[in-house]
Amino acid sequence: MNQRIIKLFLRFSISAAFLSAVADRFGWWGSGGSIAWGNWNNFLDYTRVINPWFPPGLIPAIGAIATGAEIVCALFLLLGFKTEFFARLSGLLLLVFGLSITFSTGLKGAFDYSVFSASAAGFALSLMKEKFFEVDSLILSKK
């Protein structure tokens, strides 16, 4: 398969995963068996579970920072703006999430959510230098 198509697939799949998780914590997926949190409070409860080393008063800020980072990474990956940087940041964000799950609840949860695979996808994407449907390349081609 063409590397440009794989790069586009990685950008869109990582972005979709982030946006899906954000939609879930805001209740936009509705309710049902496949919903992880369903609302902000449940998300903060889970954030507390996987970050037991932080004081409870910091959990809302940590949840908001993580959510903001996911939204920013998703949007910039979708646009293809600074793809290598935001792919690396996505890989790091997912790695921290996976390690938090592992150290607080065990390795199985991180494997069940495929967090390490998604992290690896972010790091792999950051190594793909050829531009394809990216804002960066459109700006540079007009100069």
Per residue in 15-53, pLDDT (tens digit) is: 999 999 999 999 898 777 666 888 999 999 999 999 999
Residues 81 and 83: their CA atoms lie apart, in Å, by 5
CB atoms within 10 A of CB 58: 13
pLDDT, position 4: 85
Residue 114 tokens read as 């495929």
Confidence of residue 131 (pLDDT cuts 50, 70, 90): confident
**Under 8 Å between Cβ of 11 and 138:** no
Gap between the Cα atoms of 73 and 6, Å rounded? 18
Given a contact cutoff of 8 angstroms between Cβ atoms, the answer to whether 81 and 134 are in contact is yes
Mean pLDDT of 82-92: 97
